[in-house]
A and B are shown apart, each in its own frame.
Chain A
């Protein structure tokens, strides 16, 4: 992430009134923040306002940062919460994405049997890498904002469950359940697009 100076030095410098050090913090963390903002907010103008809002909040709350996580994780948490508040304000948080947490348990109850179920027909489709790459973006876009973000943080940013848990403030069990559901939905989206476009 190009963080040349330790978080602590940067934070101390900002608290002494050095605005340039905060500029450095933004440069070090904006890649991760962009991933969250782009996945959760679809409107480009709103993204610009929200990203500034995230960093102004981080600046104002900096005295509360106690180095219990990486500075980038702490700012990502502010980014996630700011986007979530925006979605709630705009009534864009899909209830489905939050009520699906129990599907984890439901899945444990149902084993697919035999070789004629729909699941197994889907499984028999073997998608080529190039085809998949061409439809991946659309398939991710069809997910709910929270699922998109979780998939991106885990599979794209390659953050650990612990780090994603700190960002989203979700307990590990809930987080794993959300991620399971997100991967399953993504796979279903891919198959739907694949069949529709008859690749």
Chain B
């Protein structure tokens, strides 16, 4: 009476015939029944690989992303920092003007009002231009961070 391989041993052979135990390979070489069973398993494994893959028929990423909490806490804390900075900056300028008010008064006394206005307009224009440029650069950096 022939002692056949265990089902587990046949699977072992079908999964990796090169590295499987020698006694299994030896039995398969001489036993038609076990060889056929192993061949069935091998065929089964290779057909499973060719099964079509499942995919969702809806846009899962969009569905999920729109449900995510908006990062409001991050932007509000950024905004608070920005306001604090502007407040400190304005305070520092006011302090400087107040401290040097006598010098400034003397400095501008001999100058025509039209020249003062002209200087003010130029200074404000340069300031606005710089601010716009900084904001544009910030937007660009945020965009590149969010691009993936």
Annotate B1-42 by CB proximity to A: 1 below 8 A, 0 otherwise. Answer: 111111110010000000000000000000001101101110
Q: Is A18 a contact partner of B146 (Cβ separation < 8 A)? A: yes
Given A51-B56, A126-B39, A155-B49, are A120 and B4 neighbors across the interface (CB < 8 Å)?
yes
Q: Could you tell me how many residues of chain B have their Cβ less than 8 Å away from some Cβ of chain A?
A: 44
Contacts of B50 in A (CB 8 A): 133
In the assembled complex, the CB of A36 is this many whole angstroms from the nearest CB of chain B, namely: 9
B103 close to A (CB within 8 Å):
no
Q: For chain B, what secondary structure do more than half of its interface residues adopt (helix, strand, loop), or is it mixed?
A: helix
Distance (Å) between the CB of A14 and the closest chain B CB?
Answer: 9
CB of B80 within 8 A of chain A? no
**With A26-B61, A31-B53 as given contacts, are A21 and B4 in contact (CB-CB < 8 Å)?**
no
- List chain A positions with a Cβ less than 8 A from chain B: 4-5, 10, 13, 16-24, 26-27, 30-31, 34-35, 37-39, 47-48, 51-52, 55-56, 59, 104, 107-108, 110-115, 119-120, 122-127, 129, 132-133, 136-137, 140, 151-152, 155-156, 158, 180, 183-184, 186-187, 190
Q: List 18 A-B contacts (CB under 8 A).
A: A21-B148, A23-B61, A26-B60, A26-B61, A26-B64, A27-B61, A30-B60, A35-B53, A56-B67, A59-B64, A107-B8, A108-B8, A111-B5, A124-B36, A125-B40, A133-B50, A180-B7, A184-B7
Residues of B bordering A, CB below 8 Å: 1-8, 11, 33-34, 36-37, 39-41, 43-45, 47-51, 53-56, 58, 60-65, 67-68, 70-71, 74, 145-148
Instruction: Give the 6 A-B CB pairs with smallest separation, nearest first.
Output: A17-B71, A123-B37, A38-B54, A26-B61, A155-B48, A23-B61
